[in-house]
Amino acid sequence: MTTYGFDPAAPSELQSWLVERLAEYLPDLGEAVDPYRQLGEYGLDSIAVVAFAADVEEQLGIAVDPTAIWDYPTVSELAEYLAGELAERRPQAA
């Protein structure tokens, strides 16, 4: 277990964290965030996307360009991408 409270390199755990975090930007949603639904369907504005990317960046300790939110348009796809980015930065066992 890492200091994140989850394994950030595990897409399923990262996806769960992203769903919870994204829900904070959608207080009037009235339903759970669907990790397979297009993020654009939630009506996120550019300010929310930049703030969400900054939160993810701060939590994971890697640069997250806000355009990644649109390049990987579902939480599931974003989690896979971020897990891959984190795996590339993880020291390799000798």
Residues 6+ positions from 76 with CB-CB distance below 8 Å: 11, 15, 35, 36
- Does the residue 66 lie in any domain? yes
**How many CB atoms are closer than 10 A to CB 61?**
11
- Does the residue 3 lie in any domain? no
Whole-number pLDDT of residue 68: 92
- Does the residue 2 lie in any domain? no
pLDDT-above-90 percentage for the chain = 50
Domain count, the chain: 1
- Does the residue 61 lie in any domain? yes
Q: What is the DSSP letter of 66?
A: T
CA distance 86 to 81: 9
The rounded mean pLDDT for the chain is: 85
- Does the residue 59 lie in any domain? yes
- Does the residue 5 lie in any domain? no
- Does the residue 94 lie in any domain? no
CATH number reported for the structural domain that contains residue 58 in this entry: 1.10.1200.10
Where in the sequence is the domain holding 36, given as residue range(s)?
11-89
Whole-number pLDDT of residue 89: 76
